């Protein structure tokens, strides 16, 4: 999409602090991080919503998200990585990976 900021980042028209890239995805540090290490993972194939991604791309996106989360957890004090799928604020599917300090206990349902 011509007016999509993430498509422009993928095309190299807008700079980004890239931390991972391959033929299907790009990961970079969020310009306005909520926590240190806040990373955005985007598919290079444009889609507004995650369910619009091809199965091949969505499978790859989630495999890379797991890989990045494992790397983030190697940092001191990082207990887990919160992941959110978004597409509303920027109309291009993207995952937020937010490293969190400590270990959150899951509450019983």
Residues that are catalytic: 94
The phi, psi pair for 79, rounded to 5°, reads -95, -30
Q: What is the CA radius of gyration of the chain?
A: 14
Q: What are phi and psi of 42, to 5 degrees?
A: -125, 145
Query: Rounded to an integer, what distance in angstroms lies between the CA atom of residue 81 and that of residue 96?
Result: 10
Query: How far is residue 58's CA from residue 62's CA, in Å, rounded to a whole number?
Result: 6
């Amino acid at each position: 999409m011509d007016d999509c900021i993430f498509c422009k980042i993928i095309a190299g028209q807008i700079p980004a602090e890239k931390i991972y890239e391959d033929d299907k995805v790009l990961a970079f540090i969020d310009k306005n991080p909520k926590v240190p290490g806040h990373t955005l993972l985007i598919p290079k194939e444009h889609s507004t919503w995650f369910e619009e991604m091809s199965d091949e791309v969505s499978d790859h996106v989630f495999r890379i998200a797991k890989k990045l989360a494992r790397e983030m957890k190697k940092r001191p004090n990082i207990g887990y990585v919160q992941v959110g799928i978004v597409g509303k604020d920027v109309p291009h599917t993207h995952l937020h990976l937010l490293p969190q300090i400590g270990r959150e206990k899951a509450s019983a349902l």
